[in-house]
C-alpha cells in the first residue's frame, strides 16, 4: 500500500487537471447504503418500482420507502475522506469532483467545485401544483414512507435523476468538458454500471489520464487503471492527503 500511495500521490501532485469521480461507495462510511455490491439497496428494493420515473409517477410509495433507508436512518455527515478532498481542493490539488451521489456530502465537507450528475435530494417540487419544498421540510414525512403536498398530490419529486430521465444537461456538459482536460482521475466507490455517468472515467482514460481506483470490491475495468486500491474510500483518501499535504490533518 505504501509504495502505491507514494506513486499515486506523486502523480497527483504533478497533474495539471486532477479530478475525482465518486459513487455511492464514497458515502458508505458516512452510513449511506450503496445501491450495488455488499448489502446494496437494489438487493432489497425493486429498482424498477423505486427508481424509475414512470413508476414514481404511478406510485411514489416504493421510492420513499427506499429513500428512508438512503439518507434518513440518522443525521448523515461527511467522513474524513470527504474532508480530505475538500482540503486538497483548497490547496489547489483538485479541479473538481464529479459525483453520482445525491447526498450533498461533498459540499457539506467544504468542496466547492462539485458536479452532481444525478442531482440532489435537498430540493423537491410538487409535480401537480409546482410548490417547492426542501428536504428538511419533508423529512418527517419520509420517516413515515409517504410524502404528500399541501395540494393533496403524492407526486412531490426530489430534483434527482430517476432512471428514464435525462441528466441535467449543463452539469453533464461541464463534467464532460472537465474529463477532457483531466490528466489524473481517481474513481472512488462506483460500480461504473450506470451511463452516461460511467462514460466520464472512459473519456479521461481515452484522453490519456493516469487513473486510480478506490473500491472495496474488485473487478471494475482493470485495463483502465494504473493503480487499484482494494480498500475503503475514507482510509485511502486520508492517507493520500497526508502524502500530498503532509502531516496529520484534523
Residues 6+ apart with CB under 8 A from 106: 22, 78, 82, 85, 86, 97, 99, 114
Q: Return the number of the residue (6 or 151) whose C-beta is nearest Zn ion.
A: 151
User: Which is the catalytic residue, given 79, 82, 106, 118?
Assistant: 118
Give dist(CA 104, CA 120) in Å, integer: 7
- Applying the rule CB under 6 A, the residues between 25 and 44 that interact with ligand APR are 25, 28-29, 34-37, 40
Nearest residue to ligand APR, scored by beta-carbon proximity: 25
Among 10, 129, 137, 249, binds Zn ion (CB under 5 A): 129
Residue 239 interacts, among Zn ion, ligand APR, none and using kind-specific CB cut-offs from 5 to 8 Å, with none
Residue 151 interacts, among Zn ion, ligand APR, none and using kind-specific CB cut-offs from 5 to 8 Å, with Zn ion
Site string for ligand APR, 77-116 (x = CB under 6 A): -----------------------x----------------
Q: Return the number of the residue (149 or 237) whose C-beta is nearest ligand APR.
A: 237
The yes-or-no answer on residue 106 being catalytic is no
Residue 174 is placed in which grid cell? 461541464
Q: Return the number of the residue (46 or 150) whose C-beta is nearest Zn ion.
A: 150
If one asks whether residue 126 binds Zn ion (CB under 5 A), the answer comes out as yes
- Applying the rule CB under 6 A, the residues between 166 and 225 that interact with ligand APR are 189-191, 193-194, 214-217
Give dist(CA 121, CA 157) in Å, integer: 9
Q: How far is the CB of 25 from ligand APR (least distance, A)?
A: 2
If one asks whether residue 148 binds ligand APR (CB under 6 A), the answer comes out as no
SS (H, E, C) the chain: CHHHHHHHHHHHHHCCCEEEEECHHHCHHHCCCCCCCCCCHHHCCCHHHHHEHHHHHHCCHHHHHHHHHHHCCCCCCCCHHHHHHHHHHHCCCCCEEEECCCCCHHHHCCCCCEEECCEEEEEEEECCCCCEEEHHHHHHHHHHCCCCCCCCCCCEEEEECCECCCCCHHHHHHHHHHHHHCCEEEEECCCCCCCCCCHHHHHHHHCCCEEEEECCCCCCCHHHCCEEECCCHHHHHHHHHHHHHCCCCC
Q: Return the number of the residue (100 or 107) whose C-beta is nearest ligand APR.
A: 100
Q: Return the number of the residue (40 or 148) whose C-beta is nearest ligand APR.
A: 40
Q: For residue 161, how many other CB atoms are within 10 A of its CB?
A: 22
Residue 110 interacts, among ligand APR, Zn ion, none and using kind-specific CB cut-offs from 5 to 8 Å, with none
If one asks whether residue 149 binds Zn ion (CB under 5 A), the answer comes out as yes
Q: Which residues are the active-site residues? A: 118
Q: Which positions lie near ligand APR, rule CB under 6 A? A: 23-25, 28-29, 34-37, 40, 51, 100, 118, 189-191, 193-194, 214-217, 232-233
Amino acid at each position: 500500500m505504501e509504495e502505491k500511495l507514494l506513486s499515486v500521490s506523486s502523480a497527483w501532485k504533478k497533474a495539471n487537471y486532477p479530478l475525482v469521480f465518486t459513487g455511492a461507495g464514497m458515502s458508505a462510511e458516512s452510513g449511506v447504503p450503496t445501491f450495488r455490491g455488499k448489502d446494496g439497496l437494489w438487493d432489497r428494493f425493486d429498482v424498477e418500482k423505486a427508481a424509475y420515473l414512470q413508476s414514481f409517477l404511478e406510485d411514489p410509495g416504493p421510492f420513499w420507502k427506499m429513500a428512508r433507508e438512503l439518507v434518513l436512518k440518522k443525521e448523515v455527515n461527511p467522513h474524513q475522506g470527504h474532508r480530505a478532498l475538500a482540503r486538497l481542493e483548497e490547496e489547489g490539488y483538485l479541479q473538481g469532483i464529479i459525483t453520482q451521489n445525491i447526498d450533498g456530502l461533498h459540499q457539506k465537507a467544504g468542496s466547492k467545485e462539485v458536479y452532481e450528475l444525478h442531482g440532489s435530494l435537498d430540493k423537491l417540487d410538487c409535480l401537480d401544483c409546482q410548490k417547492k419544498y426542501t428536504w428538511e421540510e419533508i423529512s418527517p414525512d419520509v420517516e413515515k414512507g409517504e410524502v404528500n403536498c399541501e395540494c393533496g398530490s403524492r407526486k412531490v419529486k426530489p430534483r434527482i435523476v430517476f432512471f428514464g430521465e435525462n441528466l441535467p444537461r449543463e452539469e453533464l456538459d461541464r463534467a464532460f468538458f472537465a474529463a477532457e482536460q483531466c490528466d489524473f482521475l481517481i474513481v472512488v466507490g462506483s460500480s461504473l454500471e450506470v451511463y452516461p455517468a460511467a462514460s466520464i472515467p472512459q473519456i479521461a482514460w481515452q484522453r490519456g489520464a493516469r487513473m486510480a481506483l478506490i473500491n472495496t470490491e474488485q473487478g471494475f475495468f482493470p485495463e483502465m487503471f494504473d493503480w487499484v486500491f482494494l480498500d475503503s474510500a475514507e482510509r485511502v483518501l486520508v492517507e493520500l492527503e497526508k502524502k500530498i499535504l503532509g502531516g496529520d490533518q484534523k
